[in-house]
Amino acid sequence: MARTPVSTYRLQLGPDLTFDEAAARVDYLADLGVTDLYLSPILQAAPGSTHGYDVVDHSRISEAMGGREGFERLVAAARARDLGIVLDIVPNHMAVPTPAYLNRALWSGLSLGKDSPYASWFDVDFSAGQVLMPILGTRIGAVLAAGELTIEDAPPEAVTTDAAGATADTPSPGKVLRYYDHVLPIREGTENLPLTELLDRQHYRLAYWKVADEELNYRRFFDVGTLVALRVEDPEVFRATHALVLELLELGLVDGLRIDHPDGLADPRGYLRHLEEATGGAWTVVEKILEPDETLPRDWPTAGTTGYDAAWRVGQAQIDPAGATVLGALMTELTGDAVGDLPALTEESKREIATTSLAAEVERLAHLVAEECRADVRLRDHTLTAIRDCVRELVVACDRYRAYVVPGEQASPAAVRLVEEWAEHAARGLDDDRDETLALVVDLVLGREVGSAGRTHDKRRAEIIVRFQQVCGAVMAKGVEDTTFYRWTHLTSLTEVGGAPQKFAVAPDELHSWASAVQRSHPATMTLGSTHDSKRGEDVRARIGVLSQLPDAWADLVHALRDATEEARPYLLHGRTENLLWQTLAGTWTPDGPLDADRFTAYLVKASREAKEWTSWTAQSAAGEQALVAYAEHVVASPEVAELMTAWVARTAEPVRTATLATKALQLTLPGVADVYQGTETTTVALVDPDNRRPVDVQHLREGLRRLDSGARPTTLGEEKQRLVAAILRLRRAEPATFVGERAGYVPLPTSTGHAIAFARTLDGDSRVCTVVTRLPVALAAAGGWGEASVVLPDGRWRDVVSDRLHDGGATRLADLLGDSPAVVLAADATDDGTRP
């Protein structure tokens, strides 16, 4: 029977955390109460990879982590403590490594073109001409003039092999083309040609790196040219790229899977069905970003998502909607943005992405449509220019990652409604004479019959359907997650991966409604607080979220901070960057003081480049970045700032404590498998990667848990959080069916105040666990505290899993139940005769 995790602990494996080092943590994690280890990708990745998503060889386990033997030692250590193994896998793409021969399948494709046995692996049409390799630091003419391209003897490791490592039937290349650290194959028979002619005869075209955005002719992971997309919809490619993972499952070394970015695939549903059959139904969750009104497709055979949908709702349950206006006014003062500007900003950002970094993808789709029109006499009057305009605007109007249209199947009414709504929006940005062309594009992406009869299901039309959805997802990811969310500064804790800043705050009833629906549809989904992709860790978000409860005081503080640092502030400091800086300061300044200046400034520079306004990854403003860094260093070193921020930390200590503990209690007890990202069982200060992937001091965590287990009282918020997390994880392990699976249930509990969120987790309809947390404590204190406010607990006796205090069921005063704690989790208490109430 397939194992379903009850709780997972995410480990970021790599050079800083090998399999053996992870094995040394197993006893601590088992003592903490987790049931499964959740491992980042373990297959052989590009040299120096710190995350594992840049796989170069699906047939090997990472040598840097310890190889197959090291992995099996980790599994053995986990099994000795009855822990399962969940593995993160990457079906969408592989690395284009440096040197290229490290990816044997890609090397073969570059060597042999369409004749390569691996030509079908990649989303590249080797028969359509040279594959663009945008690796040059300057234009090709300058590279040739400088003599930077050389022909050399092939290194011994640059042999042509198959993906399993066996020597292929093609000869080992005698010569290679070198450009600094880049090594590329030379097509057989061309090695003695003059260099310019040799370049023209290869299966690839060397180009200036900036050419990629406009002319790249292979699908990549979003706009990352060093990650080439795979065609796992091809059964042979699926078999070859999944053979090792399936072997590990068959041998019982792996129990479950996390699927990275399935929306990039040609057919996510088909892939998941194939995977379910191949794994025998192993527990599998997908990294899926859902809009607030969107649900996971019910025909996807998956246990659920990785938990972005839970994370933002839990966090925003601690946001005070009353703070939106004041924080909006402050944003307007600093940036010029108004509260209602988010939709326009999102559209602007997506259009920018569609015409710059992902222009090649949009162009490729437009050309596909144009080719279809040229092939059908009834459609030939639709020009490429008109088609390009319509495709671009339709992609920009798309408000989610996919419409879930499958070639050969009639589009669902929901998909039709979505695409037609996007078309209505797209039409506003187009001239009236584009209406007929827009209607044509809509018909094609929905798989409708248009033009000559009988052409509905041909290959090119199927490709249009697939590529439209792949482009929509990429533009959403880069335009919203990686652009808009770095520009919108109303409350930056809301602009998280998979987040919904347009909602601002979530009321208890809304959280209950969502949780009840998830319990019915995907009872073994995942919940999370932080991930390796988080822009800010959960505790940083909690501290920033408190600004919504004290908006006037925060506005006053920002004005005081600006006055204190006015002489050092750069004249041209961008307003959005400045608002981001102040909120990041609030999120990272703790009782221990500010974040290290190098981490603080590295985050601000990365965030500014992602925002792509006054600097970017492709057009860096050295002077502007230096000025920002100097100002940020001044801010964290200023005695006046320290005095102001120390007072703020003291003033917000209780609401920060409430937000930190309440959100964690909710996340760990809502429906689904609860994940703890490494180190977040205590309070952490973590910003966007690589900051959130820094090594964890496990010895400190281990010693802290031992002290707490020996009866020591927490002396810090971090210790209090660790005590709460351990208590809940241990409860989950003792009551697995109450939390995960078909027998589990979710029932909201009545409260007489909006300052509490309460629910019961049930087993076969009987209440077994209750969660009661405080929300918006600043307004609660202003109203005089709990007073006679109450919650109605289910009948029976209930034990606080942290304090061991007992409570009777029925109407219970919240002041009595919670005491000085902002979050209480209760377990049904055994009666004297051993039965349960």
Please give the C-alpha separations between residue 204 and each of 107, 151, 191, 193, 805, in angstroms, as whole numbers: 11, 16, 14, 16, 70
Rounded to an integer, the average pLDDT of 192-216 is: 93
pLDDT in tens, 288-324: 999 999 999 999 999 999 999 999 999 999 999 999 9
Within this chain, do residues 478 and 398 fall inside the same structural domain, yes or no? yes
Contacts of 36 (CB under 8 A, 6+ apart): 5, 6, 7, 8, 9, 83, 84, 85, 86, 255, 256
Residue keyed to tokens 């002396």: 715
Within this chain, do residues 354 and 476 fall inside the same structural domain, yes or no? yes
User: Interhelix angle for 551-564 vs 639-651, to 10°?
Assistant: 170
pLDDT in tens, 461-502: 999 999 999 999 999 999 999 999 999 999 999 999 999 999
Last residue of a domain, one of 651, 682, 716: 651
The conformation of residue 295, written as its DSSP 8-state character, comes to -
pLDDT in tens, 807-818: 999 999 999 999
Asked whether the predicted pLDDT for residue 172 surpasses 80, the reply is no
Within this chain, do residues 106 and 214 fall inside the same structural domain, yes or no? yes
**Helix/strand/coil (H/E/C) assignment for every residue in 114-146:** HHCCCCCCECECHHHCCEEEEEECCCHHHHHHC
- In angstroms, the CA 211 to CA 227 distance is 16
Contacts of 382 (CB under 8 A, 6+ apart): 369, 370, 373, 436, 437, 440
Both tokens of 738, joined, read 């109450």
Please give the C-alpha separations between residue 124 and each of 40, 216, 262, 463, 748, in angstroms, as whole numbers: 27, 10, 19, 13, 51
What's the pLDDT at 464? 96
The CATH number of whichever domain residue 129 belongs to comes to 3.30.1590.10
What's the pLDDT at 822? 98
pLDDT in tens, 606-652: 999 999 999 999 999 999 999 999 999 999 999 999 999 999 999 99
Rounded to an integer, the average pLDDT of 707-725 is: 97
Percent of all residues in the chain with a pLDDT value above 90, rounded to a whole number: 92
DSSP code per residue over 6-61: SEEEEE--BTTB-HHHHHTTHHHHHHHT--EEEEPP-EEESTT-SSS-SEEEEEEE
Shortest CA distance to 662 belongs to which of 520, 546, 797, 771? 771
Within this chain, do residues 218 and 266 fall inside the same structural domain, yes or no? no
The conformation of residue 480, written as its DSSP 8-state character, comes to I
Shortest CA distance to 360 belongs to which of 486, 209, 252? 209
pLDDT in tens, 676-700: 999 999 999 999 999 999 999 999 9
Look up the pTM and report it. Answer: 0.95
Residue 800 lies in a domain: no
Contacts of 715 (CB under 8 A, 6+ apart): none
Within this chain, do residues 43 and 120 fall inside the same structural domain, yes or no? no
Within this chain, do residues 567 and 623 fall inside the same structural domain, yes or no? yes
- Parent domain of 629: 551-651
Cβ-count burial of 428 within 10 angstroms (0-12 exposed, 13-18 middle, 19+ buried)? Answer: exposed
3-class DSSP state of 710: coil
What's the pLDDT at 598? 98
Within this chain, do residues 66 and 121 fall inside the same structural domain, yes or no? no
User: Interhelix angle for 435-445 vs 384-397, to 10°?
Assistant: 60
What's the pLDDT at 278? 97
CB 673 within 8 A of CB 740: yes
Residue 44 lies in a domain: yes
Residue 321 lies in a domain: no
Both tokens of 154, joined, read 């092939």
Within this chain, do residues 147 and 197 fall inside the same structural domain, yes or no? yes
DSSP code per residue over 536-560: B-HHHHHHHHGGGTSHHHHHHHHHH
Shortest CA distance to 118 belongs to which of 131, 128, 107? 107
Asked whether the predicted pLDDT for residue 702 surpasses 90, the reply is yes
Asked whether the predicted pLDDT for residue 165 surpasses 80, the reply is no
Within a 10 A sphere around the Cβ of 778, how many other Cβ atoms?
Answer: 20
Percent of all residues in the chain with a pLDDT value above 70, rounded to a whole number: 97
The CATH number of whichever domain residue 621 belongs to comes to 1.10.10
Asked whether the predicted pLDDT for residue 831 surpasses 90, the reply is no
Go through 664-703 and write b for each residue having 16 or more CB atoms within 10 A of its CB, e for each that does not.
bbbbbbbbbbbbbbbbbbbbbbbbbbebbbbebebeebee
Shortest CA distance to 131 belongs to which of 187, 193, 85? 187
Contacts of 585 (CB under 8 A, 6+ apart): 561, 594, 600, 635, 636, 645
pLDDT band for position 125 (cuts 50, 70, 90): confident
Within this chain, do residues 252 and 276 fall inside the same structural domain, yes or no? yes
Within this chain, do residues 219 and 237 fall inside the same structural domain, yes or no? no
Q: For the ranges 146-160, 180-194, 266-280, 315-329, which has the lowest average pLDDT?
A: 146-160
Residue 140 lies in a domain: yes
Q: Could you report how far apart the first and last alpha carbons of the chain are, in Å?
A: 31
Residue 458 lies in a domain: yes
Residue 284 lies in a domain: yes
Residue keyed to tokens 């920033």: 544
Within this chain, do residues 82 and 142 fall inside the same structural domain, yes or no? no
What's the pLDDT at 223? 76
What's the pLDDT at 159? 65
Rounded to an integer, the average pLDDT of 142-151 is: 96
Average pLDDT, the chain: 95
Asked whether the predicted pLDDT for residue 384 surpasses 90, the reply is yes
- In angstroms, the CA 451 to CA 789 distance is 67
Number of domains forming the structure of the chain: 4
Alpha helices in 428-507 (DSSP H): 435-445, 459-476, 485-487
Distance of CA 637 to the CA centre of its chain: 33
Residue 580 lies in a domain: yes
pLDDT band for position 173 (cuts 50, 70, 90): low
Last residue of a domain, one of 282, 306, 330: 306
Rounded to an integer, the average pLDDT of 398-420 is: 95
- In angstroms, the CA 8 to CA 673 distance is 7
Residue 590 lies in a domain: yes
Sheet of 756-763, strands arranged across: 744-748, 756-763, 766-774, 823-828, 790-800, 806-813
Cβ-count burial of 215 within 10 angstroms (0-12 exposed, 13-18 middle, 19+ buried)? Answer: middle
Asked whether the predicted pLDDT for residue 744 surpasses 60, the reply is yes
Last residue of a domain, one of 252, 272, 306: 306
Query: What amino acid occupies position 110?
Result: L
Asked whether the predicted pLDDT for residue 169 surpasses 80, the reply is no
Within a 10 A sphere around the Cβ of 605, how many other Cβ atoms?
Answer: 19
What's the pLDDT at 117? 94
Rounded to an integer, the average pLDDT of 126-154 is: 93
pLDDT in tens, 494-549: 999 999 999 999 999 999 999 999 999 999 999 999 999 999 999 999 999 999 99
The CATH number of whichever domain residue 243 belongs to comes to 3.20.20.80
What's the pLDDT at 160? 53
Asked whether the predicted pLDDT for residue 108 surpasses 50, the reply is yes
Within this chain, do residues 236 and 225 fall inside the same structural domain, yes or no? no
What's the pLDDT at 127? 76
